[in-house]
Amino acid sequence: MTTTAMTDALERDARALLAAYDDGSWCPADGEFALAGDLARVHWSGSVFRAALRGMPPSVRSGRLVDVLDPAAALLELVDTSGARDALLALRQLVDALAD
């Protein structure tokens, strides 16, 4: 997958998950809220995302948030963040909404 395709997919998936959260069709597990809270307070990098994802309980690993964060870790390792600005903004909005 190209970097552009990864960026577009991340933006689309983060926005879709935020919309599902906002309309009540997705209710994150407590661990997903905690994970978002942890990520909301740190400087983002691929290694930070990978460290946050390691050791997550199965309830979080099987949740929908990980489906967005795992590709984000790979993207953060591959690109200068300015090349993924819109995707990372969408992800930041999702993380911030869950962290509140």
Block means of pLDDT (10 residues each) for the chain, length 100 residues?
84 98 96 95 92 89 93 83 85 96
What pLDDT was estimated at residue 13?
97
What pLDDT was estimated at residue 1?
59
This prediction's pTM: 0.91
**Total count of domains within the chain:** 1
Residue-number span of the structural domain to which 86 is assigned: 3-99
Q: From CA 23, how far away is CA 19, in angstroms rounded?
A: 6
